[in-house]
Amino acid sequence: MSFAFFFPGQGSQSLNMMSGFDQISCVKDTFVEASDVLGQDLWAMINGTDEAVINSTVNTQPLMLTAGIATYRAYLEAQGKPPSVVAGHSLGEYSALVAAQSLSFEDAIKLVRVRAQLMQEAVPEGIGAMAAILGLDDEAVKAVCVNSAQGEIVEAVNFNAKGQVVIAGNASAVERAMLAAKEAGAKRALPLPVSVPSHCALMKGAAEKLAHALDSITVNKPTICVLHNVDVQSYSDSAAIKDALVRQLYSPVLWTQTVASLADEGVHLSAECGPGKVLAGLTKRITDKMNCQPLVKMDDVHQFISTLQ
């Protein structure tokens, strides 16, 4: 049976987000491994009381990568079979590449910390913004962004599901686009609690620096097909994978297309491998041809494995 694993990105983090795996040693070992690389106690961070700490981009990115890989290792340890294809939403693409043995876990942890720092440095806090536009089709959102830019940057950057598009850019331009979207018939326009405007042209400077960081990273041919956010393509060549990661930083996340294309190709079962249920919810909105099971506790992992048998 062909099935997919999806890895969530920023926005799915929460305090105590790995509580469903408290007694699983390989999960804690994964957090220890990442903590040793960064010189921070990531397990204590997610099990603390300060939500602002885990919501800071420089912490969120390594935390979500670690959580995704810890969940995947728990799944494999429980005798789960490797998926046929993997994909990750934005940051989750790095988790997908680790699962596919294209990136080492240690290199990926270092890389996403650098990525987060570069993103934050590229656009100082308060300069950029992101917002979710609900109830408008993709082309209408794109038109709203074009008309609202007024010499600044505002772009449609996450195509998450039908009628659910995220925009990003200069804070004032995003504010104009939110108002224009409501006037155009959007049901809601919600500002997102993020400190950087991901996947828009404001990230091009960060992308150039990320390319230099990737020069020293070994990227292997994936052992599992990895679908990339930027073009819904899979690559086996190291240079092509690195290029996809660089372009991803300033290009839209084509999540709707990713899930729909897999469903059309006969992949009707998937698992969300990491905290939260965001991607499972989006899958329901995108297609009725695919079921996505969130793996937020060990019981979910066992249930998914039994589904495969």
Distance (Å, whole) CA 88 – CA 93:
4
d(CA 196, CA 23): 35
Give yes or no: 212 in active site. no
Calculate the alpha carbon distances from 146 to 154, 156, 172, 199 in Å: 7, 10, 14, 16
Tokens 């990713």, residue located: 258
CA nearest to 258, candidates 267, 245, 249, 271: 267
Q: Which is the catalytic residue, given 12, 89, 148, 199?
A: 199
What SS3 state is found at 78? coil
Q: Strand order in 128-134's β-sheet?
A: 154-161, 164-170, 128-134, 188-191
The CA-based dihedral angle spanning residues 130, 103, 44, 193, taken in that order and rounded to the nearest 10 degrees: 0
Token pair 């019981």 in the structure block, residue: 299
**DSSP symbol at 256:** H
- Active-site choice (90, 95, 148, 198): 90
Among 306, 300, 279, 289, residue whose Cα is nearest residue 11: 279
Question: Strands 4-7, 85-88: parallel, antiparallel or unpaired by DSSP?
Answer: parallel
Q: Which single residue is written with the structure tokens 């079979």?
A: 81
Length of the chain: 309
Contacts for 22 with CB less than 8 Å, ≥ 6 apart: none
Do residues 179 and 161 lie in contact, with contact meaning Cβ atoms separated by under 8 Å? no
Note if 199 is an active site residue.
yes
User: What amino acid positions are annotated as catalytic residues?
Assistant: 90, 199
